[in-house]
Each structure stands twice: as C-alpha cells, then as structure tokens.
Structure 1
Amino acid sequence: MQYEFQDPEYYNSLILVKQKKYSIEDTEINLNDILEVYNRTSVVEEPEIPFPQADSFKRIINLCELLNERELTRDEITENYDFDPRQTNYYTDAGRYY
C-alpha cells in the first residue's frame, strides 16, 4: 500500500494512493478445485435443538458454569436470570446447541 499526506503538517490528511496484491501461489479456482473440496467435505447433521436465539454468549457461559456446579430447574434458571420462560428456553437451547 502506498499512502500520501495531502498536507504534510496535518497527520489526518493521509490518503491511500495505490494498493497492489501479490501471491506466490496460483489463486485461480476451477471446477476441479471445487469438486475436490466437495468430495472431502463430510456432512454434519444439525442438532435436534432449535437454532440458538440467545443474545449474550457471556450469559450462556455463565449458565454452563452454574450448571456445572449443580443442577438447576428451568424455573430456577428463569428466576436466577430474571428471565421470562421463553428466554430460559433460548439460553438452555443455546447451551445445548454449542
């Protein structure tokens, strides 16, 4: 990448002049490449759990930590996180999905 200052006295005046990309190996992809990857790929079935809808991965981790210490009922999880029952399902399903 080549940059240039439009105003040498002002560091925020930096602009990109030109950019080039280089590769040591061939980067062309052809049908044989695609077929080779396809043939080497194994299909993994999705878990029979609803797709995760939880919006906080930290909370999923925390829930797993709590469940590692002791078993909790859905009602206890709902109360502990001040969830409504729908959210409890989102987070327990997300934990089981991962």
Structure 2
Amino acid sequence: IYAFHIFEFTDINNYSSMKKVKQVNFIVDQNLDISIDELKYISSNSKCFPEPEKGNGTYPQANNFTRILNLLQYLKDEPKDKVELSNQYQFDERQGDYYANALVYLNFAEKSNGKFKLTPLGKNIASYPNNNTRNKLVIEQILNHITFKEAFDNTLRNGGFSDKGYIASILKKYVTSINSDKTALRRASTVSAWINWILSVASAE
C-alpha cells in the first residue's frame, strides 16, 4: 500500500499549526478510498454487540491490524496453534495468542482443541484481495462492537484524533474484565490502532 499524506499549515509562521487534511492510498492500480460518509453509515447501522463477559472471551490486545489481516491468510489452509503462529510471525507465544484471539473476537476464527481455525465469515473475508469490498466487511465487523462504535464516533467528532482517555472510560463501562485504569489504557491503544487502520483505508473527501 502506498499512502500519500497531505498537510496544511493554518499559520505559515507556526509549525505547530500543521493539520492533516487528506490521505490517499493506492494498491496495484486500485484506490482504497471508502468515503467518510460510508464509514458513518456503517457505524450508524452497528449491531452494537455486547462485549465478552469476564471469563467468556478476550477483549483484543493486538495493535497491528495489518498483521491480523495477514493472519487470516495464514489460517486459510489449515488450523494453527499459538506456537505455530508465533513461529510464523517471530513473536512470543503470548503475542500469538493475542493476535489469534483478536480474530476470534471479530468472529473470523474460532478455537478448538488448542488450534485456531477460520469461521465461514473468516473464510469469506480471506477470499478477497485487499480492496474496498473486503475492508468494508472488516470495518462492519469491528464497528458492530459497541466499544469500537462509540470510540470511532468520538474520533470522527475529534477530527480524526483518538482520545485514549475517553476510550478507556468506554472500556471500563462496557468490558467487565477491565477493572483498572492501567488495563483500560492498554486496551485503549488497541482500539485506537484499529480505528486508525479504518481511517487509513478511507478517503478524507
């Protein structure tokens, strides 16, 4: 993906006045240009799934969303355990578990007998190349979760900037397994990273 960022200075004598006005992404003669209006429409139609109850599922802690999408491709052929995932991506087993559980959270994978395998939805997503159609399906699944929807809507109200303090407060409200400010802020970094990915495949126009 080739990403072009366009900035402007609202005050040409003040470097701190720089503001991002547009980002355009290209991939093999295709534009990744979902409009902001399309994102608002997806968010407004969110199913607002409740977050996993404590002891029944894991809230995601995996900041590199591109790696999550790569993991979909890696799981296409056969189920893998966290050791195989960590070896493939050269990180420790705990990180392998985090990234695989992020797929489970999105209903792209399920865990059975210690191995992660794609769900029908995950297989469908994995069948697409990196294009607007695939990304819309992924964004819908992210924003169907109430914490991501509320955080995303707040980010749009802030002109595209994530407020991690606000996101942390949302997480403490809706996620029963998160009961400390430290944990909430750590998970908020994942929410912020996923929202930044959403905005990275969208046009500013």
TM-score (norm 2): 0.26
Partner of 2:88: 80
1:1-98 map, 5 Å: 12=12, 44-47=49-52, 48-98=56-106
More helix, by proportion:
2
Does the residue aligned with 1:96 lie in a helix, a strand or coil?
helix
- How far is 1:43 from its partner? 6.4
Q: Distance in 2 between matches of 1:83 and 1:43?
A: 32
Match of 2:41 in 1: none
The aligned length equals 60
- Please give the alpha-carbon distance, in whole angstroms, between the structure 2 residues aligned to 1:75 and 1:83: 9
Q: What is the distance in 2 between the residues matched to 1:64 and 1:49?
A: 19
What stretches of structure 1 of length at least 5 have no aligned partner?
Answer: 1-10, 14-41
**Displacement after TM superposition at 1:46 (Å):** 2.2
Would you identify which runs of 4 or more consecutive aligned residues in structure 1 move more than 2 Å?
Answer: 42-48
**Distance in 1 between residues matched to 2:94 and 2:79, nearest whole Å:** 19
Which runs of 5 or more residues in structure 2 are unaligned? 1-10, 14-46, 107-205
Taking a change above 3 Å as real, the CA distance of residues 43 and 56 of structure 1, as seen in their structure-2 partners, is closer
What secondary structure sits across from 1:12 in the alignment? coil
Greater Rg by CA: 1
Q: Which structure is higher in RCO with an 8 Å CA cutoff and minimum separation 6?
A: 2
Three-state SS of the structure 2 residue aligned to 1:68 is: coil
The CA deviation at 1:90 is 0.7
Give the AA of the match of 1:52: P
After superposition, what is the alpha-carbon deviation per residue over 1:8-46, rounded to whole angstroms, capped at 9, x for unaligned?
Answer: xxx937xxxxxxxxxxxxxxxxxxxxxxxxxxxx86332
1:12–1:45 CA distance, 2 compared to 1 (3 A): closer
